[in-house]
Amino acid sequence: MGLMFPKYTYYRSKTHLKNVASLLCQHCGRDGSVQAAHSNWSEHGKGRGIKASDIYTAALCQDCHQELDQGNHLSKEERKRMWVEAHKKTVFTMTMLDLWPRDIGIPLEYD
């Protein structure tokens, strides 16, 4: 019997998470209290109590992160769109600042 889900390779790095959190909020532009907000979607490795791979983190302030995870002002589609746009900006900013991990490719495949 084969695996129901393909094995997923996770990237974990405290340094990467710290670098993400050092940016401005990539949704509202707020400075301070920024966190590395992991993707909430299975295509990024999220599932069964496991956080998505650390490369799928967006720099979001506490308020935007809370709205993404527990907020009720946005639909599921709007929350995903919010995270994807913030993640794209996070990757771009980290690349421009030479903070993106050299051993990890840049994820550009978004649905």
Q: What is the CB neighbour count within 10 angstroms for residue 41?
A: 17
Residues 6+ apart with CB under 8 A from 32: 61
d(CA 67, CA 82): 10
Domain ranges of the chain: 14-96
d(CA 111, CA 96): 24
- Strand segments, DSSP code E, in 53-108 are 57-61
Q: Note the pLDDT tens digit of each residue in 36-87.
A: 999 988 777 787 788 988 999 999 999 999 999 887 889 989 999 999 999 9
Mean pLDDT of the chain: 87
Per-residue pLDDT, 111: 37
d(CA 70, CA 110): 23
Per-residue pLDDT, 108: 62
User: Which band of pLDDT confidence, cut at 50, 70 and 90, is reported for residue 110?
Assistant: very low
Q: Of 68, 60, 69, 57, whose CA–CA distance to 11 is shortest?
A: 57
d(CA 104, CA 66): 28
User: Which band of pLDDT confidence, cut at 50, 70 and 90, is reported for residue 109?
Assistant: low
- 21: tokens are 């959190």
